[in-house]
Amino acid sequence: MAALIEVRGLEFCYPDGTEALRGIDLELSAGETLILLGANGSGKTTLLLHLNGLLQAKAGRIVVCGLEVVPGNFPAIRNKVGFVFQDADDQLFMPTVLEDVAYGLLNRGLDPSAARAAAEEALADVDLTHVALRAPYHLSGGEKRRAALAGVLAMKPEILVFDEPTTALDPPAQRNLAGLMRRLGHVKIVSTHDAAFARAVGTRAVFFERGRVAGEGTVDEVLQRFDWEAHLGH
């Protein structure tokens, strides 16, 4: 089966000289939820930001859904890759949740009534119909995360990218998010430090060390090999 995401020899250096990625190779195929594990600064988020061209590589190649990640393909790729950022407040800025979820569709040129219907459908998918007319800043942390996800789902991407989705969520909100992510049929790539969450949603894991892939396998294999839970003090 052809990979939906294929990364080969990816290298990236920040302007201050920090080498963030050093020859990354990985693939993501249909039906997978790939977990990225590793310490802060190991390159996980930097990799994610390359998948729809938010950062551009120093060397190497990325292909997403058959399209090479180069400037001429950015619009098409960004329609295929939905990015849920670590801080939901980075994605929520309209007066109401419904307007936030519809914003991307309207920006794409969709008719307002069609955009509203699609936004309502996305909110139903994440169990947030009851807060549609509420201001985003009145939501709980878990509700904000799901509202940000609804805005991404409304755009009908093929791949979902999550950067530290459990940050600042209490255990019930984490469980609710894990259940929601399991229900979604999308291919997913998830950066997280949370071992329990990784087990709950992941089908495979990759461990990052100093900008390199140090190992991969099932989630349990990678957690055990790198003694990740002991590292986190669990």
Query: Does residue 5 have a pLDDT over 70?
Result: yes
Q: Identify the CATH number of the domain in which residue 190 sits.
A: 3.40.50.300
How high is the pLDDT of residue 200? 95
Average pLDDT over residues 143-156: 94
Name the residue with higher pLDDT: 234 or 135. Answer: 135
| Domain count within the chain | 1
- pLDDT, tens only, 28-45: 999 999 999 999 999 999
DSSP string, 6-42: EEEEEEEE-TTS-EEEEEEEEEE-TT-EEEEEE-TTS
How high is the pLDDT of residue 215? 95
Rounded to whole angstroms, how far apart are CA atoms 78 and 70? 11
How high is the pLDDT of residue 89? 87
Q: What are phi and psi of 37, to 5 degrees?
A: -115, 160
What is the extent of the structural domain holding 96?
A: 5-232
pLDDT band of residue 79 (cuts 50, 70, 90) is very high
- pLDDT, tens only, 175-231: 999 999 999 989 999 999 999 999 999 999 999 999 999 999 999 999 999 988 766
Rounded to whole angstroms, how far apart are CA atoms 180 and 152? 14
Question: Is the separation of the CB atoms in 71 and 121 below 8 Å?
Answer: no
Please state whether the predicted TM-score (pTM) of the whole model is above 0.85: yes
Percent residues over pLDDT 70 in the chain: 97
